[in-house]
């Protein structure tokens, strides 16, 4: 789990990122990114009820949290990121998830 100072947990912050941020799509998740003047990169996750019940949503949260924790050092500094899980995330293995995240990271590094 990321330290509290690196997590987005205020609804208004997440709403602002959803409204003004850039969206990068992947078959497994969507990533919204917004420039910020804050130094530590902050990250939040969204798991919709479209994913299924609480067990599926919590599993998706754990997968995304683990993914971010492993790759936090590769993220650009001074941005706010929201990851939105898609249903295919639950059906994928770790290699596919890591490959998709690395693909999205390369798109982020081209822009930031």
Please enumerate in sequence order all residues whose Cβ is within 8 A of that of 9, keeping only pairs 6 or more positions apart, or say none.
44
What architecture is domain 4-96?
2-Layer Sandwich (3.30)
pLDDT of residue 9: 83
Token digits of residue 31 = 């990533």
What is the number of other CB atoms lying within 10 angstroms of the CB of residue 53? 8
pTM, 2 dp: 0.91
Burial of 77 from C-beta contacts in 10 A (0-12 / 13-18 / 19+): exposed
pLDDT tens, 47-94? 999 999 999 999 999 999 999 999 999 999 999 999 999 999 999 999
What sign has the CA pseudo-torsion 15, 102, 50, 23? positive
**Domains of the chain: which residue ranges?**
4-96
């Amino acid at each position: 789990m990321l330290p509290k100072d690196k997590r987005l947990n205020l609804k208004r912050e997440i709403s602002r990122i959803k409204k003004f941020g850039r969206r990068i799509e992947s078959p497994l998740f969507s990533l919204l990114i917004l420039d910020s003047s804050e130094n530590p990169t902050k990250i939040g996750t969204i798991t919709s009820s479209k994913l299924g019940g609480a067990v599926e949503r919590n599993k998706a949260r754990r997968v995304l949290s683990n993914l971010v924790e492993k790759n936090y050092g590769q993220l650009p500094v001074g941005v706010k990121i929201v990851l939105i899980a898609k249903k295919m995330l639950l059906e994928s293995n770790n290699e596919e998830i890591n490959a998709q995240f690395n693909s999205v990271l390369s798109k982020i590094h081209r822009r930031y």
